Amino acid sequence: MAKRAMAATVGAMVVLGQVLLGGAPAGAAEASGGLLASGYDTTQRLDPVTGQALGVVGAGQDATVSRSGRLAYVRDVDPCHPDVEGCFGANDLLVTARDGTRERVLVHNTNAQGGVSWPDWSPDGRWITYYWGTPGERGLNIVNVDGTGNDQLVQVGGPGTFSPDGRSIAYVKDGDVAVIDLETRESRAVTTDGLAQFSPPDWSPDGRTIVYAGQSEFLTVPAAGGPSTHAGIWPNALSGVFAPVFAPNGRKVAFTATEASSDPDLPGTRRVFTARVDGARLRAVADLDAELTDWLRGHG
């Protein structure tokens, strides 16, 4: 998957496990939460209120954190830079301990025309789902964190995220949100409006609602199915809405989008935004061309 360059210094991994385990003092928990924003070769944490960079998570893409603080992320295994060179590059899915040690390749990709992206942890930390995409094959896979049981769940579908109870995964297929039951391996349609963009959906903390990206807004839909709710038309035109994620308290949604320039001859600016679930109180948090992978506890 092509990644855009993100202004961040690659450095040592930040320990995120304390806030996720709930064992740190309140001040430390606040410092350890935030939005995970992924660029081409780095994932960093952002303060969802000020947009301040809180630290580098690691030298990889699409980093996500398990409830115990373990990291999963994607790393390119060749020097190709897609946005600069217009090429594809092979990549691997890796996992590490919460302090960045014991790095291990979980899924090795030898196909130079695509590969792994958008991993997501199961709530119990035993499984990771990820998107697999090459010119001739794409779909949603699941793998045990010990590297066994690497199975394809959906042949033609986009990236997915686990439900809070770990029993289902929501994903986008052919413009709609679907949910697959991990026990029966049967999928059901959640939306039928055809408005979902190719982007990971996200579950509300209580598992009752799914948020997904439209072209110029995010939408929410009951996880059991039903009509979608539009976030609304915002004053400044947005496009390319991507990877909306729920806040830990379920009251807000963060996402990235391009805000149109006041000069029609100039390109828009890629920004990170937050808004209430109903679309009210839209705020630009940071000017950053990146993809959000999670909203960690510590900032709601």
Long-range contacts of 19-24, Cβ-Cβ distance < 8 Å, separation of 24 or more? 19/296, 19/297, 19/298, 20/65, 20/66, 20/67, 20/68, 20/69, 20/296, 20/297, 21/67, 21/68, 21/69, 22/297
User: Mean pLDDT throughout 62-87?
Assistant: 75
pLDDT score of 171 more than 90: yes
Q: Mind listing the pLDDT tens digit for each residue in 90-135?
A: 788 999 887 778 889 988 876 666 678 899 999 999 999 999 887 7
Percentage, residues of the chain above pLDDT 70: 82
The answer to whether 165 touches 196, Cβ cutoff 8 Å, is no
Give pLDDT, residue 246.
96
Residue 159: pLDDT band (50, 70, 90) is very high
Q: Which CATH number fits domain 17-296: 3.40.50.20, 2.120.10.30, 2.40.30.200, 2.60.40.650?
A: 2.120.10.30
What residue spans define the domains of the chain? 17-296
Give pLDDT, residue 19.
29
pLDDT score of 168 more than 90: yes
**pTM of the complete model:** 0.84
> Who has greater pLDDT, 195 or 112?
195
The sheet that has 229-230: what strands, in order across it?
202-203, 209-213, 218-222, 229-230
pLDDT score of 9 more than 60: no
> Who has greater pLDDT, 103 or 89?
103
No. of H helices and E strands in the chain? Answer: 3, 24
Highest mean pLDDT among 23-27, 87-91, 115-119, 225-229: 225-229
Q: Mind listing the pLDDT tens digit for each residue in 236-285?
A: 789 999 999 999 999 999 999 999 888 888 889 999 999 999 999 999 99
